[in-house]
Amino acid sequence: MKIKNAFACAMFLLGALSGKAQFKRDSVTTAPAPPATDKPSITVTENRLLMKRKGKFFMYWGYNRAAFSKSDIRFKDVDYDFTIKDVRAKDQPEPFSNTYYKLSTFSIPQYNYRLGYYINDKTYISIGEDHMKYAIEKQTTRISGTISKDNNGGANVGTYDNVEVIVGEDGENLPLYGTIADSLKGGFVTAFEHCDGLNDVTIELGRTEQLWISRNGKHALAFTGAIGGGVVIPDSDTDVLGYDPRHDAETGKKSYHLAGYSGSALLGLEFTFFRNFFLLGRLKGGYMNLPDIMTTVEGGRASQHFRFLESALVVGYSYKFGKK
């Protein structure tokens, strides 16, 4: 995986710079005098050199991979109300190429950006977006609900109670297909993607714990952790019962919509170099609840909720404006 390779290179760079590391514990210890003497208590103070971050603004940009739990997806409109169960989905990574660094295309892959401010040397607040992608695979599932009208010539009309069907026919073919699974009834949901972004816009409150700093104070290694929450604004491309989707790639029509909310927590390892630049590898886990996904031109809606796990590698810059 490209993210893992890049992270390994960063750790190699850290090792090259760490020859003169300064390790000290940040502590204040009071040692009482032995009871048999009249000597006063001795206070020993040992401070470590900290990377000064208070008052700094920072920004970063990078790319991610994501994984999702199974979810039940409910589709509802005047003519139908049905649920497909335990649906699998995956992200859609862009193969590594000049797409990642050309100005005209660098926002096509799954990206992350964030702006933040250090309240003190360890605590920060930030706002940003994680642009993930979500697409269901071709798979068997079970459907429950009613369909009184479709745009497939009535092929899907009926009442269903935990009936096995096939969905995601426009997705990737897995080894299972081409067998008896292809004889199952389809046409219900042939495509379901948050294709131009499962866009998670969040505010995070985080903390940085320094592990190492160079003698000149210019390079440092730290753990980071944060909790956050926000809103999810996907652009969803769906094909439900043959109705026209709101998203139309051929005409450039988008369907961005405030569909729900998210909550998350993350851990990361940050390497700061030359005081103002940093490389951050982060692992984020969370939950999304999307009760109002726009699907069809006719006004159809979908709803789902699921857990996610995202890994990201970003590069950033921090700077303190005004008096240092």
- For residues 77-103, average pLDDT: 92
- For residues 264-284, average pLDDT: 97
Percent pLDDT > 90 in the chain is: 71
Render pLDDT for 216-270 as a digit per residue (tens, 0 to 9). 999 999 999 999 999 999 999 999 999 999 998 777 788 899 999 999 999 999 9
Lowest mean pLDDT among 9-13, 50-54, 108-112, 295-299: 9-13
d(CA 174, CA 168): 11
d(CA 128, CA 115): 6
Q: Mean pLDDT across the chain, nearest whole number? A: 87
d(CA 194, CA 312): 19
Q: pLDDT value at position 25?
A: 40
Lowest mean pLDDT among 37-51, 97-111, 237-251: 37-51
Structure tokens at 84: 């497909």
Render pLDDT for 147-197 as a digit per residue (tens, 0 to 9). 999 999 999 999 999 999 999 998 766 555 556 677 899 999 999 999 889
**Is 323 a residue whose pLDDT tops 90?**
no
213 close to 49: Cβ distance less than 8 angstroms:
yes
Greatest alpha-carbon span in the chain: 99
Q: pLDDT value at position 253?
A: 83
Q: pLDDT value at position 102?
A: 82
Instruction: Please tell me which residue, 101 or 109, carries the higher pLDDT value.
Output: 109
Structure tokens at 142: 């079970």
Q: pLDDT value at position 172?
A: 66
pLDDT band at 33 (very low <50, low <70, confident <90, very high): low
d(CA 71, CA 90): 12
Structure tokens at 228: 């956050």
**Is 22 a residue whose pLDDT tops 50?**
no
H-assigned helices in the chain = 2-17
Looking at the DSSP bridge assignments, the partners of residue 253 are 248
Closest CA to 274 of 220, 211, 209, 314: 220
**Is 30 a residue whose pLDDT tops 80?**
no
Q: pLDDT value at position 32?
A: 54
Displacement of CA 225 from its chain's centroid (Å): 15
Q: List Cβ neighbours of 100 (8 Å cut-off, separation of 6 or more).
A: 63, 94, 106, 109
Structure tokens at 275: 């005081």
Closest CA to 47 of 31, 77, 27: 27
Q: pLDDT value at position 268?
A: 98
- Give the DSSP H/E element, type plus range, for residue 95: none
Structure tokens at 205: 């409150």
d(CA 117, CA 63): 21
Q: pLDDT value at position 101?
A: 81
Q: pLDDT value at position 114?
A: 98
CB neighbours (10 Å) of residue 215? 11
- For residues 292-310, average pLDDT: 97
Lowest mean pLDDT among 12-16, 187-191, 201-205, 273-277: 12-16
Displacement of CA 52 from its chain's centroid (Å): 28
HSE-CB of 203 using CA atoms within 13 angstroms: 2
